Structure 1
Amino acid sequence: MKILVTNHWLKKLGGSETFTYAMVAELKRLGHEVDVLTFQPGLVSDRIQDDFGVPILSEVKSTYELILANHHTCVRAAFNHGPIIQTCHGTVPKLEQPSAFADAYVAISEEVKLHLSKIDKEYQASVILNGIDCNRFKPVKPINKSVKRVLSLAHDDMFNLDLLYHFEKLGIQFFSLNKFKNPVWNVEDQINEADLVISLGRGAYESMACGRPVLVMDKRPYQGAMADGLVNSLNVDELIKTNLSGRACRMTNFKLVIDSAIASYNRSLGNWCRTYALENLNIKNQIQQYLELWKRLSM
C-alpha cells in the first residue's frame, strides 16, 4: 500500500518526531511504500531517509491510499491526496489541534479524546496509545534489587539539579539527559544503564519497554512541576488516561514522591513494565489499529 506519513517538523528529537520514526519503521517492515512529508527537515528526517530509504517531501504531489498525519498543517497540505487519519498528541499545542480536513482522528490518550470532543462533537477520535518499537527499546541488562542508578529525562535544568541533590543524599547515582541540551539518538542505551527512569509521556513508554520502572515526574512550561508517582499495575489504567503526564495525580511534594518510589521499588516491577509495553504500547499492534481504522474508512 502507498502511504504518506507527515509531521510538521522532523529537525530535532521530540515525541511526535520519534513516533513518526517508529511508525515509518514498522510500515516499511510490513512492506508498504512510504513517503514522509515535513516542512522542517533535519535530524529525524535524515535518520528516516538513511535508515529506510524513504523520500522526504516538502509538498504533496501524489495520491496515496492512506495518509497518517501528525499536525493540522500537514493535514491541510495533504487534503485531496487520499484518506487522512490525523493523530493528535496533546491538548495545548496549536499544531496538535484537529483539522476539519481529516477523515478520521486518533487521540493518543483519553484526555486528548475528551479535548477533541469538547472542541466539536464531529471530532470523534479513536484512542491508540503511543507506539514504541519494542525490538529497539528492550531490556539488555537486568535492573538491581534496589535502586543504584537513576536516569532523568526531564527537560528542566533546575529541576534536574534538585533531583541530583536529593538522590545524592540518598546515596543513589543520578544522571540526566535533556533532549534540548544533550540529545542522544540511542537513548535506549542510557535507559538500560538505569534502575529507575524519571520521565513523562513517550520517554516513560520507551523506558517501560526497556523493562525499567518509571517515576512520572517533570517540570514543563505548560503545566509546571507535577508528578504521578511510580507506575505500577494498580495505577497504570488511570495514569495512562493522561499519557503518563503527571496530570492524573498532580502531586507536587517531590520529596515524598521520590521517597515513596524508592520504598516501593522492586525488581519484578521491571518485568511488569516490559510485559505491559509489549501488550499495550508495541508499535506492531498500534499500526494494525491504524490499518483497521483505515479499513473502516474504506467501507
Structure 2
Amino acid sequence: MAKGRNLIVLVATYNLSRIGGTESWCYTIAKELKIRGYDVEYFTISRGITSKKLEEIGINFMSKKKYDLILANHTNVIDRLLNKGVIIQTMHGIFSSLEFPNKYADLFVSISREIQDFNKTKGRDSVFIPNGIDLQRFHNNRPLNEKLTRILSLSHSERANEKLKTACDMLNIELLTINKFKTPIWDIENYINKVDLVIGLGRSAYDAMACGRPIIVYDERDYMNSNADGYINFENIDLSFRFNCSGRGLKKKFTVDDLVEEFLLYNTKTGKDMRSFAENNLDIKKIVDSYLDLYEREKEKHRSVARFLRNSFAKGKARLMLAKYAFSSYLYNKIYTK
C-alpha cells in the first residue's frame, strides 16, 4: 500500500459524458482514493454525466503538470499523458481497439482472466485486478420476495427484452427495463433494490450482486454473438467471472422457453451468496489496495535501478581515480627514478 507523502493521482479515461462500466469504474476508484485523503483529479476527452458527478464530490479536471500515479483506461488517452507520471493502464475488454495495450504505459491491469489471457497472446503481460464496487452504496436495502415477482433487465438489446417480456408474461412476472443508452440513470442501485432478480452483463451484474440480488447473465448485443451464462450460483460463478460475466463463459443461447426455465431457478439464498461473492472479490477498498500495492512495487523497482546506477557510478568513479593514481605513479617513476 502507498506510503509516505500524500499521493497525487490522476484517473483518466476516454469518455465521461455518459454512464457505463468504465465510467463507473473511474468514479468508484476516484471516490475511494479521495476518501483516503489523496489529491485526485480526472482527465477525459469527453465530459458529461460522469465527470459532473466527479466534480460534485470535489474531484476536478486535470490541472497539474505531474502526478505520482495515473490510472488510465484507453490507449488514446495514454498518448496525451506521456511523462506526467507512472501510468497503469487498465484494460476492460477484448473487442475495442481503445482497450489495446499502449506501449508507453508502465504497467498493465486486466479486469478479467479472459482479458489477461487475451493480452498475453499478444505478448503483453498484465496483472488481474477485477472491477471494484462501492459496497456501502450498493447494498441490499429491501428483502427479496420468496416468490419471483419483479425482474429488472439492464440489457442493451430490444431483441433480448422482447424475449424477456414474453417469458415474464408466461409466469405473471413484472418486467422493468432500463437501457443506459436511452435512459441513463445514475442511482441505478435504487432500481436494483426494487426487484428480485436482475438481468445484465459485466458491471450491471456486479452491481446487482452487491445489492444481494440473484442475476441472470444474458444479453444479445450487436457487437458479439448472443451469449449467456444464465442464472448464476456458486456452481458457475467462477467461470462466468473469468469472462467478466459477459456470457462468453458458458455461451448459452436462450429461447423464450429457456428463459422461463432460468426464472424457475430463482432462490432467495442465491442473493445472499451473490452479496458474499461481491464482498470477497469486488470490494472497492480491496481493489484500490491492489492498485496502490502495484504502484509501490513499480516505484521500488525504479528505486532499485537508481541505487544500482548510483553504486555503479560510484564504483566506476573509484576505479577511474585508482587508474589515474596508478598512471600518475607510473609517470613519476618513469621520469624521476631513472
Residue 158 of structure 1 and its aligned partner are, at CA, apart by 2.8
Of stretches 16-25 and 245-254 in structure 1, the one that deviates more from structure 2 is: 245-254
Residue 159 of structure 1 and its aligned partner are, at CA, apart by 1.9
Q: Distance in 2 between matches of 1:40 and 1:16?
A: 13
* Map of 1:42 onto structure 2: 48
Deviations 1:265-285 (A, max 9, x none): 111111111111011011111
Q: Distance in 2 between matches of 1:77 and 1:114?
A: 27
Deviations 1:97-155 (A, max 9, x none): 110000110000011001111112xx211111110111111000011112110000000
Q: Distance in 2 between matches of 1:19 and 1:254?
A: 32
Asked whether the 8 Å contact 2:78–2:104 carries over to 1, the reply is yes
The DSSP-based 3-state class of the residue aligned with 1:105 is strand
The DSSP-based 3-state class of the residue aligned with 1:7 is strand
Q: Distance in 1 between matches of 2:126 and 2:26?
A: 19
Give the partner amino acid of 2:32.
E
The DSSP-based 3-state class of the residue aligned with 1:227 is strand
Residue 224 of structure 1 and its aligned partner are, at CA, apart by 2.8
TM-score (norm 2): 0.85
Asked whether the 8 Å contact 1:164–1:175 carries over to 2, the reply is no
* Map of 1:54 onto structure 2: 59
Q: Distance in 2 between matches of 1:253 and 1:111?
A: 23
Residue 225 of structure 1 and its aligned partner are, at CA, apart by 1.7
* Map of 2:292 onto structure 1: 291
The DSSP-based 3-state class of the residue aligned with 2:80 is helix
The DSSP-based 3-state class of the residue aligned with 1:175 is strand
- Identical pairs, percent: 37
TM-score (norm 1): 0.96
* Map of 1:196 onto structure 2: 197
Change (3 A) 1:257 1:106: farther
Asked whether the 8 Å contact 1:229–1:257 carries over to 2, the reply is no
Asked whether the 8 Å contact 2:163–2:256 carries over to 1, the reply is no
In the TM superposition, what are the counterparts of 1:1-299 in structure 2 within 5 Å? 1-50=7-56, 52-57=57-62, 61-120=64-123, 123-299=124-300
CA RMSD of aligned residues (A): 1.1
Deviations 1:182-207 (A, max 9, x none): 11111000000110100000000000
Asked whether the 8 Å contact 1:139–1:209 carries over to 2, the reply is yes
Q: Distance in 1 between matches of 2:284 and 2:142?
A: 22
Asked whether the 8 Å contact 2:166–2:256 carries over to 1, the reply is no
Give the partner amino acid of 2:27.
Y
Asked whether the 8 Å contact 1:89–1:112 carries over to 2, the reply is yes
Q: Name the count of aligned residue pairs.
A: 294
Asked whether the 8 Å contact 1:27–1:34 carries over to 2, the reply is yes
